[in-house]
Structure 1
Amino acid sequence: MLAWAVVVSVLVMAVLSLLRVNVVIALLAAGMTGGLMTGLSLTDTVEMIVKGMGGQASTALSYVLLGAFAVTIAYSGITKILVRNLVSVLKGKGTFLLFVIAGVASLSQNVIPVHIAFIPILIPPLLKLFDDMNLDRRGVASALTFGLKAPYLTIPVGFGLMFHKTIRDAMNSSGASIGLDQIAQAMILPGIGMVVGLIIAILFTYRKPRDPKAMPSDYQAEVAATSEEETESFGVRHALTLVAIVLALVVQLVTDNLILGALTGLVAMFAFYVVPFRKGDQVISDGISMMGTIAFVMLISSGYANVLKETGAVDALVQQTSGAIGDNHYIISFVLLLVGLLITMGIGSSFGTIPILAALYVPICMSVGFSPIATAVLIGTAGALGDAGSPASDSTLGPTSGLNADGKHNHIWDTCVPTFIHFNIPLFIFGWIAANMF
């Protein structure tokens, strides 16, 4: 029963989410299911969920502050100038625009490691452009998720270096010696799988125009206001906004702290009087409205992950499956990747899943003769599987937070399902091939 707790609870979360049940309720239901199946009482399960929520408190606070910072940037009017220029350059070039978005998102992982911080700033002002072009937002979500995942899987710079070091340290502590250069080599083929998924999504699946839904009245008013100010030219407050953005980025890179970076940008916008101080309450309120859901989902997902880890359900699942798959490398690698997919779908974090998987996978892989590089492929790919497509992952919550700013983008059907299909499937196939090549 303990081993099946992960499988059943993840299925509960997936089914409820697909039925359009709010992701917070779906995660709570999954956590309670997992706790009850491992022998906990309902009260103990809830207490364990609440106790584990602290694991993502820093991330949740940073997301709310980033939302508030994004609101101040929009207030400055600089995004209206950006949209006006983009409309003139990219009108009718939907495919090119999607590849540009994927490229910009990729920079957020390695060159300018801000992760999802750019999404609430860049994407909401572009929504009218997407609608004018009849652009399928599922393609935009796929482009964003690709940029949030593929670079850190394959390129050992920025978040990629952190990811590769996490794999190396976790493997070394479990008794398998491996270097960073070998991990970079191991992750090339899984990364190529994600590129294949992106090409299929942009050039084939979501290439056809998709009529936008009718805009809610509050968003119509916002669009009308933007149209009225189309003649606004670049001025001092826009320059000061750029200075605030640079300050936020510098502080984040220097301190390696997203909270301090977002707070610096927010304070700078008030200090430069780009946003009047009297607007402070409204800015924070709008920031919570924009990013509060994603922050709370991250908290609940951390509590759910705590239930799976503390009860030993993850360990039991891996041990039970490994004991029944024999010594065939093709079968073992397939099952281990499938287990990784289930675990990461529930936990929603590839970085947080790696140490768990390494402790379980390394002994199994060493006992059946997998090389250290092949083991790294399995751990890295299994950790990444499910990150795209998971309702609780920031790789899906981030794109949704930007694309649903006007209430016209569904988190599950417009982000999670498309990214699961286009990235987890090729990632699984290419990771399985790579694990059996080395």
Structure 2
Amino acid sequence: MAWIVVLSVLIMIGLSLARVPVIIAILAAGLSAGLMAGLSLSEALQLLVEGMDQQLATSLSYILLGAFAVAISYTGITTVLVRSLIRVLTGKRTMLVLVIAGIASLSQNVVPVHIAFIPILIPPLLKLFDQMKLDRRAVATALTFGLKAPYIMIPVGYGFIFHETIAKSMENNGASITMDQVTLSLLIPGAGMIIGLLIAIFITYRKPKQPIQGSEPISANIEKETIVFNRKHWFTLIAIIAALVVQIITDSLIIGALTGLVLMFALSVVPFKQGERVVTDGISMMGTIAFVMLIAPGFGHVLEVTGSVSALVESSSAILGNNKPFIALVLLVVGLLITMGIGSSFATIPIIAALYVPICIATGFSPLATAALIGTAGALGDAGSPASDSTLGPTSGLNADGKHHHIWDTCVPTFIHFNIPLFICGWIAALVL
């Protein structure tokens, strides 16, 4: 049974590399896993559908955050930001990529819209990227860094959810740890993300790259527009801050996004008659990603119910012995395979913790080392997975003009620059903590 996980994940990755749509690739991998486990096609499909409810709330939050992002863009405040970037950073490739990484980082903690800002902010900058001969793979790595590093290292917003999930999952499996300890355990793996970003920007994608010929991006002439910061923009900032505060207080992205949307309409920032268009555009922008996030845990559910994941870990632990470096290495490899298949670090944590905690306790790993292994294994594969929102989001913005490929221009670069340093730093953290 252990080989089913490996083979089904390879099927998904292989189909994705062959440019098969991600949704079809995940469905094929999930159904293949069920068939290989001895289920009928209808039974495998039923399991896959049953598992989809694990991410219903997350998918709904993405749709609402998409509508919130569309409402924000309606006011023109993002145009003001884009024009400022164009005015200040034209010709400064490295600085522009670093600023984009910084803005993306804010989307996880300060303004919790996650990936919803990308289709609003990035398309107007595509013409500038081409004029500057900026390699879009550098921008993809910068965006993915901003979508991952903050939740790994900072326990606020999405980071709070990630750290709390690790702590609760460990406690549910017999290991005691505090939130502060979880945060401390993830600083070393998080440093690996920073190293990967710097390598991508200053080494791998530093040289100018000739742009691909194609259609003009949306709002390519945005630098010619004249928009002055006004009263609606101030109200927009109030709605953003309110959404952040409510999200932190309630621990609910759905309630936070609803709060922001309601305030945008109540303060007349967006006319009420535009409400249907805002929601429809939000669904259009985030619908595909939300649906992928629904299917991904369905794939994970098939692997879990059939016992494939447990069999993989059991067969691995049988040959591990008490060699901590080797045990940590194998556990991280297993985590990479699982997360690459499911595509969500948040959804993977409870599965990984149920498997890792007993092994780590039996072999003498400290709670900090265990948390480092679980957090790193959960984050591994999130970057580079065709089914991950950390890769789907950047592609949604960078491919607005049809010049950016999801697998080769987003998934492969982010896998190389983030999974490798994450793996190494997570392995080191497990041995030193």
CA contact (8 A) 1:145 1:399 kept: yes
What is aligned with 1:223? 220
For 1:352-391, list aligned pairs within 5 A.
352-391=347-386
Equivalent in the alignment of 1:326: 321
| Deviation sequence 1:65-87 (CA, Å, 0-9, x none) | 33333333333333333222221
Following TM superposition, by how much is the alpha carbon of 1:323 offset from its aligned partner in structure 2, in angstroms?
0.6
Structure 1: distance between partners of 2:413 and 2:45: 32
Give 1:267 shift: 4.2
Asked if residue 116 in structure 1 is aligned to residue 107 in structure 2, the reply is no
Inter-CA distance 64–174: structure 2 relative to 1 (3 Å threshold): closer
Deviation of the 1:270 alpha carbon: 4.3
Q: Which moved more, 1:238-247 or 1:286-295?
A: 238-247
Query: Normalized against structure 2, the TM-score is what?
Result: 0.92
- In structure 1, the residue matched to 2:211 is 212
Q: Which residue of 1 aligns with 2:158?
A: 159
Indicate which of 407, 415, 418 corresponds to 2:413: 418
Aligned residues: 433
Aligned to 2:404: 409
The answer to whether structure 1 residue 17 and structure 2 residue 16 are counterparts is yes
Task: Name the structure 2 match of 1:429.
Answer: 424
Alpha-carbon deviation of 1:344? 0.8
CA 1:337–1:168 in 2, change beyond 3 Å: closer, same or farther? same
Residue 44 of structure 1, CA deviation = 0.7
- In the alignment, the residues of structure 2 paired with residue 188 and residue 316 of structure 1 have an alpha-carbon distance, to the nearest angstrom, of 31
Closer, same or farther: CA 75–322 of 1 in aligned 2, 3 Å: same
Structure 1 gaps of 5+ residues are none
Consecutive unaligned residues in structure 2, runs of 5 or more? none
Instruction: Tell me the CA shift for residue 281 of structure 1.
Output: 4.3
- The CA RMSD over aligned residues, in Å, is 2.4
Q: Partners in 1 of 2:186 and 2:229 — Cα distance?
A: 44
Partner amino acid, structure 1, of 2:361: M
Cα deviation 1:269-312 (Å, max 9, x = unaligned): 44555544554444333322221111111111121111112222
Q: Is the 8 A contact 2:69 2:113 kept in 1?
A: no
- Supply the distance in 2 between the matched residues of 1:156 and 1:282 (Cα, whole angstroms): 35
State the alpha-carbon separation in 2 of the partners of residues 195 and 262 from structure 1: 29
Per the TM alignment, residue 56 of structure 1 is displaced from its structure 2 partner at its CA by 1.5
Shift in Å at residue 387 of structure 1? 1.1
Report the equivalent of 1:301: 296
Q: Distance in 2 between matches of 1:403 and 1:260?
A: 29
SS at structure 2 position matched to 1:231? coil
Distance 1:373 1:212, change over 3 A: same
Q: Aligned equivalents of 1:352 and 1:272: distance in 2?
A: 36
Rounded to whole Å, the distance in 2 between the matches of 1:239 and 1:186 is: 39
Q: Is the 8 A contact 1:79 1:125 kept in 2?
A: no
Letter in 1 for 2:374: I
1:196-275 matched pairs, under 5 angstroms? 196-216=195-215, 219=217, 222-224=219-221, 226=222, 230-275=225-270
Shift of the 373–70 alpha-carbon distance from structure 1 to 2, 3 Å rule, reads closer
Contact 1:67 1:120 in 2 (8 A): no
The one-letter amino acid paired with 2:141 is S
For residue 390 of structure 1, report the CA deviation from its aligned partner. 1.1
- Partner-residue secondary structure (3-state), 2:309: helix
Q: Following the alignment from structure 1 to structure 2, what is the Cα–Cα distance between the partners of residues 391 and 421?
A: 14
**Percent of residue pairs bearing the same amino acid type:** 66
The normalised TM-score by structure 1 is 0.91
Structure 1 residues 124, 269: closer, same or farther in 2, change over 3 A? Answer: farther
Assess, with a 3 A threshold, how the Cα gap between structure 1 residues 356 and 160 changes in structure 2: closer, same or farther.
same
Q: Is the 8 A contact 2:37 2:306 kept in 1?
A: yes
Give the CA deviation at 1:125: 3.2
Q: Report deviation, 1:29.
A: 0.5
Residues 244 and 256, structure 2, Cα contact 8 Å, conserved in 1: yes
